[in-house]
Structure 1
């Protein structure tokens, strides 16, 4: 296992859809279906700062779960997002970010990491992409 370090985070950064926390879960599902390649949706403020994260697979399972679909559809996405996702500045070292990602609870270790540049969303990456 080798951790990416020469090119830094910018070389492995991906884009993900970003939405407002006031969107309903129905609207968030629509965004998810418009971006089937994305594993997550970043929830952002009006100034493009991250305020939460939705992991698409987990979100879809909640949408089709035991909560009534009508109730789920009308809930604001802010109620179901992860309010404290792992975020890192684009200048962070891949090694320290990997260590931080592996300190998360087991169920969240493979959740996307939001990368920021001067506090604004630059993109996301998957923890496995830190390994090369």
Structure 2
């Protein structure tokens, strides 16, 4: 993912020693500044290392992505999400209730999209 092939490269990228990098990798305690350097070196959000040490299974990246054990999450195409949600709600609303009116369908779809915005999955600028 980042083109890093060994601990020396990783430590250098983070401006820490290989010994410190190895301690972090093994879950041993190190100076909080070393965690901050690791986060900066790997472009992680501040506090991401602490969250993993506290039991989280992923690290948040500065670009909004996450790194999980075994790989990186895919980024969601937010511009394509709203039309996909509209299509899915309409399809399933009509399957569950074939007599649904166009107005009811639209109100349900708008409500689902508003909930996605309220929870932060869509922003107001993600309208189609």
TM class, shorter-length: under 0.3
- The TM-score with structure 2 as length reference comes to 0.22
Instruction: Name whichever structure is richer in strand by fraction.
Output: 1
> What TM-score does the superposition give when structure 1 sets the normalisation length?
0.21
Q: Higher Cα Rg: structure 1 or 2? A: 2
Q: Indicate the structure with greater helix content.
A: 2
